[in-house]
Structure formats: C-alpha cells, structure tokens
Structure 1
C-alpha cells in the first residue's frame, strides 16, 4: 500500500544570541508549522544557509556577538539568497534608511507572538511558505 508523500514544512532560521529568546522564537515558529534551525550569531547563520538549501524564512535579532549584526545578515541573505523572507527584531536598534533590504520587515521588542506570526504569514503567503495561523 502506497503511503502519501509527506508534505515538506517550510524552513525557518532563527538567529539570536540570547538562548531563551532564541528557543522561544523557535518554538513559536515550530508550533506554527515550520521546521526550525537555530544560530547564535551571523557566522553560524551564514553556515546554516550554505549547508542547508531551501530556507524560506530568516528571523534575526540585531545585536549579536562577533562584530556583525542582524542588519548586515539581512542584507547579505537578501543578496545571496533572494526570495528568503526576512524579519529583523530588536529592542535597541531601529533600522536606518539603508539598514534593511526593501523586502525585509522590522519588529520592535518587546513583541507579541501574534505580531510575529502575522508578519511571517503575510511575508510568506505568496511563496506558499507559511502555514495558516489560527
């Protein structure tokens, strides 16, 4: 008897140096139907993109260790992996005119789970990436 093909879940990468916030954000996206990868800085995030094809969504904090921030990561991802939905979150740094790629979204901290999920759903709807949220 043939088994139905498994539906691939959209793939998200959460980049945050604060472990608890990273885990909570990853859990939020997993509960919404995403497969979630995690990274704690820009270098590990870029390694994830280089090693794993098909990342649909990047959710990143701005301030991280290592000399490069989430704004730089967002710009590099937009340039190297077009089509990835990008959400940048920060409680300290608001984006300047040239900080974010034009298609990226910014969410200030503190944020609600609902705002993140609605933003992600809106950004990935056309690409078929995000599951519907209740």
Structure 2
C-alpha cells in the first residue's frame, strides 16, 4: 500500500479540516479521495478501522465498547452506512487475528458486537 504525504501550513490544514467536516468524511485523506472520485465504501471502511484501532489502543484495559463508541456520534454518522457495516466486519477480522490486544465479548440483542481491551 502506498502513502501520500502533503506538507501544508496551519492555515491550509484548518481550511481542509473545515471542508472535511462540511463534506462529512472521516479524514482529510478521505476528502482528497472523495474530490478525486476515488472514495469507495471499502476505502472508507479501511479509514474507520485505522481510526478505531488508534482509539481502542488508548482505552483503559478491561473497557468494554462497541465499534461506534470509539467515535463521536457526528463522526460515526458521517460515514456511509455501507462503510460502517464493512468497517465493522473488517474491525472484527482484525481483532480475531489476536494482534491488537482487543477481544470480542458478546453481541447485543440488536446484533452489535462488543469488544474489550485486554489487560
């Protein structure tokens, strides 16, 4: 996978962050992809997983959570439904790989997967 870096000043970053929020996409990278007609549910789901893994790593050991708990409501709802569903499957697959220090716990009556941060 390739990485693209763009060095920008603070003013430009702030402007891009505002545009990202208005567009309802999860990151400035997603904004770039969207503006280039390259943002798909799969790419957006990958962004969900990347951000979720970072957020989960900061949680206290023993903390129980759902994937959407790792995001603010506004941020979570900014993702397309297809990307959220795909992101959930991808996140669970990553957790099932047992490399992340997170394990599955249970499912809710509404079929939401709960996770716990390992000690």
Q: What TM-score do you get using the length of structure 1 for normalisation?
A: 0.27
The structure carrying a bigger strand percent of its residues is: 1
Higher helix share: 2
TM score, norm. by length of structure 2: 0.29
